Structure 1
Amino acid sequence: MHTRERILKAAAEMIAEDATTTLSVRAVAARAGISTGSLRFHFPTQRALQDEVLTRIYQHFIPDDPIRDSSRAARDRLVDCLRQVLAAAGVGDEARKSWGAAYQTFIAPEPSDKARDAYLAHERASAGRVEYWLGVLADEGALPREGFARKVHFLITVVNGLSVQRAMPSGESVLHAETETLYTAVDAVLGAGSD
């Protein structure tokens, strides 16, 4: 196995064992059985390593990820990706149960260290997924790479708000309002005008 692949395999194993792990250069190099200098040759920054590992994970687990369909407009692909996240939240009773469980676990009681760590791991995973999508679009030239953290936070906040809205009683079409909101958010992130 080539050194680059050994590095990626070691990093993926570390994440599989503990999703909250930080991929430090020393830890990954030790796991791969190589020097830190060799790791830095293949991945000059910790961020480059993390991005490549996430890309590989998403390509493996979500091979038909809509973000990769470059025959479609970037804004439509990003909206579809965000819709996938919302689909997992459910609608109506299912959404209420999900949010009720989240409230009982993370909000109502004083969170334990274990609950806090679990929430932060979930938050990092969500941010990583959105960063991955934005990275694909940046590689295509659809948006600049700077300001990713702010854009990721914004999109996650929008999706969280929409998932709460799905749990609330509503007299209007949730799908229509949700679609408008997603396109407004995506247009703000991509810097496009709204239509």
Structure 2
Amino acid sequence: MVTQEDRSIGSREKVIAAAVAMVAEDATARLSVRAVAARAGVSTGSLRFHFPTQRALQDTVLARIYDQVFPDDPIQDRSRPARDRLVDCLRQVLAPAGVGEKAREAWSKAYQTFIAPDPTEEVRAAYLAMEREGWRRVEYWLTVLADEGALPKGDHARHVRFLLTVLNGLSIERALPAEESILKSETDTLYTAVDCVLNSRAS
């Protein structure tokens, strides 16, 4: 016999699965209530029952995506301080860019792809999709830490933008000639940025 609770759990999972599928198809998807409800085959009222706000839906979807894609994400290791985990997560973003020649090649490619060409709708859409993916990942990390009480809950947009700007600057530094150890200066910068975020008040 299917109980009301079973049906409730079923509709919640349908909503999450539909939203995850929408993000997988389009990284810039905004997850509007109507679109997600239609995709899930549930009413908007049912969606709102499980997720009273769009923010609640987005946070749940982010958690589901990154728990599946990055099961060993450092942000999940609660045996370590929040600041250390967040710095390690940010380092993961920088790692693929490499250092020196590899970093110069990466930035040269980015220039040829997104800066040198005329800013057509296609170029803009490609860049925004990439940026949105990075945004979602950092937002997820901050949401996890907020749920633990390491920083205030709420809209993390200001902090996400700040951390992404720091990461962009550090990735450029990796491509430039340096006199001192990149690892030391980069680590100092990451900890300074993370401390600014964790010690700030809600925006």
TM-score, normalising length from structure 2?
0.91
Q: Partner letter of residue 63 of structure 2?
A: T
Tell me what 2:64 maps to: 56
Tell me what 1:91 maps to: 99
Tell me what 1:27 maps to: 35
1:147 is displaced (CA, Å) by: 5.6
Match of 2:179 among 156, 160, 171: 171
Distance 2:85 2:23 in 1: 27
Distance 1:32 1:147 in 2: 26
Is 1:145 the counterpart of 2:119? The answer is no
Distance 1:19 1:154 in 2: 21
Per-residue deviation, residues 77-97 of structure 1 (Å, max 9, x unmatched): 000000000002111111111
Is 1:125 the counterpart of 2:124? The answer is no
Q: Partner letter of residue 83 of structure 1?
A: R
Following superposition of structure 1 onto structure 2, how do residues 100-139 of structure 1 map, counting pairs within 5 Å?
100-139=108-147
4+ residue segments displaced more than 2 Å = none
- Which range moved further: 66-75 or 42-51? 42-51
Tell me what 2:193 maps to: 185
Residue aligned with 1:2, SS: helix
1:146 is displaced (CA, Å) by: 4.2
Q: Partner letter of residue 189 of structure 2?
A: T
Identity of aligned residues (%): 68
- Conserved in 2, the CA contact under 8 Å of 1:105 and 1:111? no
Residue aligned with 2:174, SS: helix
Aligned length: 192
Distance 1:146 1:9 in 2: 24
Per-residue deviation, residues 159-186 of structure 1 (Å, max 9, x unmatched): 1000000011112110010000000101
TM-score, normalising length from structure 1?
0.95
Distance 2:135 2:156 in 1: 10
Per-residue deviation, residues 121-144 of structure 1 (Å, max 9, x unmatched): 111111111111111111111111
1:16 is displaced (CA, Å) by: 1.5
Distance 2:24 2:132 in 1: 14
Root-mean-square deviation over aligned CA pairs: 1.3
1:110 is displaced (CA, Å) by: 2.0
Match of 2:163 among 155, 158, 161: 155
Distance 2:120 2:105 in 1: 21
Match of 1:72 among 80, 84, 98: 80
Residue aligned with 2:83, SS: helix
Distance 1:91 1:74 in 2: 26
